[in-house]
Amino acid sequence: MTLNSGNSSSTADRTVIFDEVRKVLVEQCGTPDDIVVNLTEQDLMDELGLDSITLAYVFTYFEQKHDLTFENDDIDPLRYQTVSELIDVLAGRISEAAAEAR
Amino acid sequence: MSHATAEDDRPYVFDPATALGWKNIGLDGLGCFLRSVEAVLLHQGYGAADVARGLAAPLDLVRRGEWYGPMSEFPACTARWYLSDIGEGRSQWPRVAELVTSGTPVVLMPDGHHWPGDDHEGKEHYHHHMVLAHRLDAEGLHLLDTDAPADGGHRRILPVDDALRSSCTRYAVLERIDPPGGRRPGEPATALVRPSLVPLAEDIAELRAFHGEVWSGARLPLLLAKGMDVWVLGDVQPQLFLLGHALAESDDPRVAEVSRASLAAAARAQKVGLLLLGLHRFRSEGVYAMAHEEIAVLADACEELLAAMCRYAGVERLRVTGDGLRLVQRLRGEAQWCFGEGRPLPDLSFD
């Protein structure tokens, strides 16, 4: 899979995906509102404490909503330095699934 | 006269580089118990592929029988368990110390109430983690622990004190370990696939009935959620993972297909396991629905594995039905084993 810093999806798509990540973190994972509200794409993953369990919920949300499959490697938090890289992977997979469906 | 052997000089290690499919975390493929067993086999000269072929057995995902501790019978070895009552762990310490001092590693399943750093230390007498004790010296008991920091080689040394002695309620020793290299690639297919067909068909039916009729996705009692996690990560994931790797080097494309399907199902099981771990932590309503739906996805992955197995064996898929109750009994039994504290758990309901 290619990591492409958002080039495969529009800015609007990234905004929607980012909002959905926020939603999962708050509603499913109990991440405090103040952390999520202030979350930016430049934030470092290891400072947010997003481990593999939390990411399993984030990825499962997108799998179930968009009918696609992530690799378990995607759930490895060490794979991402920033939130932006996480959004890249989510956006890339969603774009790929949409392209396959067409 | 020295009786030193190559094994005597080889350290016991948790080394992701040499372990079977350990990519990111110790729970990749195998759980804490089987990582301990694997470390013993690697110490004996096994390679990762030998480990897979030595530990893979015909699938029995919703294990039959009344033993609710870890899977302990493998083609390459047997784990013999020694159990004491809650509060009696101290009585087992002299034997644990003797074994480890004499060079026999011990898989320790400590009483979390006494175990340093356990989430339940000083509280419940839960048995929910296993480590490999492999050396005893003036520093203390040397352990390999999947929960210990990776940058320290997953090693811990615990001082020998009352807490450690009291924690030794359960331990296992590996017996009749086969010499390494005794199983050729592809050889396990005959032994593993056909005997798995009926149990897997029955267990998929159990899983589907559990998802559709027994558990609605509603909030679960905490200990039942923990029991599900023990089952998925202790039974389902490793069996599928080991089978997939045991068949991975076969030249037969039908076997290769079984291998791929088994590893794909193992990956789904790992994800369900992570979601179930989240049930303990997050406790929001939404996480239950999410984990519940993934049970069906796991059943689908097992169905694909069964189809590949049937193609390999040249047989029609067996049609069976299940009511989910055998799985419920398994989940309650494993929850009792780990979290029972020596007395029956209250009636744990999925309603």
Q: Which domains does chain A have, with CATH numbers?
A: 11-101 (1.10.1200.10)
CA B52 to chain centre: 13
The mean of the pLDDT values for chain B is 92
B130 with B198, same domain: the answer is: no
Q: Which residues of B touch A27 (CB under 8 A)?
A: 284, 286
B210 with B307, same domain: the answer is: yes
Q: Whole-angstrom Cα distance, residue B304 to residue B262?
A: 9
B171 with B191, same domain: the answer is: no
Q: What does the pLDDT average to over B271-277?
A: 88
B197 with B268, same domain: the answer is: yes
Q: Is-contact B219 B335, C-beta < 8 A?
A: no
Give the DSSP H/E element, type plus range, for residue B315: none
pLDDT beyond 90 at B126: yes
**pLDDT tens per residue, range B182-238:** 777 777 898 999 999 999 999 999 999 999 999 999 888 889 989 999 999 999 999
pLDDT band at A29 (very low <50, low <70, confident <90, very high): confident
pLDDT at B154: 94
pLDDT at B184: 77
b/e sequence B108-143, b meaning 16+ C-beta within 10 Å: bbbbbbbbeebebeeebbbbbbbbbbbbbeeeebbb
The mean of the pLDDT values for chain A is 81
Dihedral, B234, B240, B241, B245 alpha carbons, nearest 10: 150
Give the DSSP H/E element, type plus range, for residue B148: none
pLDDT at B283: 65
B52 with B127, same domain: the answer is: no
pLDDT at A5: 41
Considering B114, B141, B175, which residue would you say is the last residue of a domain? B175
B168 with B189, same domain: the answer is: no
Q: Whole-angstrom Cα distance, residue B345 to residue B321?
A: 29
B168 with B181, same domain: the answer is: no
With a CB cutoff of 8 Å and minimum separation 6, the contacts of B37 are B55, B74, B77, B79, B107, B174
Considering B132, B160, B175, which residue would you say is the last residue of a domain? B175
When comparing pLDDT for A74 and B71, which is higher?
B71
With a CB cutoff of 8 Å and minimum separation 6, the contacts of B81 are B69, B72, B170, B171, B172
Min Cα distance A85 → chain B (Å) is 18
Longest dimension (CA), chain A: 39
b/e sequence B14-27, b meaning 16+ C-beta within 10 Å: bebeebbbbebbbb
Q: Is B267–A76 a contact, with Cβ atoms under 8 angstroms apart?
A: no
Least confident among A69-83, B39-53, B218-232, B305-319? A69-83
* % chain B with pLDDT above 70: 96
ipTM score for this prediction: 0.70
B102 with B202, same domain: the answer is: no
pLDDT at B241: 96
B214 with B159, same domain: the answer is: no
When comparing pLDDT for B308 and B15, which is higher?
B308
* % chain B with pLDDT above 90: 77
pLDDT beyond 80 at B147: yes
pLDDT band at A102 (very low <50, low <70, confident <90, very high): confident
Pick from B240, B282, B304 the residue to mutate for testing the A interface (most A CBs within 10 Å): B282
Pick from A57, A62, A66, A68 the residue to mutate for testing the B interface (most B CBs within 10 Å): A57
Min Cα distance B279 → chain A (Å) is 9
Closest by Cα among B107, B62, B54, B29 to B267:
B29
b/e sequence B312-347, b meaning 16+ C-beta within 10 Å: bbeeeeeeeebebebbbebbbbbbbbbbbbeeeeee
CA B269 to chain centre: 12
B145 with B89, same domain: the answer is: yes
Domain count of chain B? 2
Q: Which residues of B touch A61 (CB under 8 A)?
A: 290
pLDDT at B1: 40
pLDDT at B9: 67
pLDDT beyond 80 at A3: no
- Put simply, the chain A residues between 7 and 46 with a CB less than 8 A from any chain B CB are 27-30
Domain containing residue B56: 1-77+176-351
B129 with B227, same domain: the answer is: no
B244 with B140, same domain: the answer is: no
Considering B175, B199, B224, which residue would you say is the last residue of a domain? B175
Closest by Cα among A72, A75, A96 to A86:
A75
When comparing pLDDT for A65 and B88, which is higher?
B88
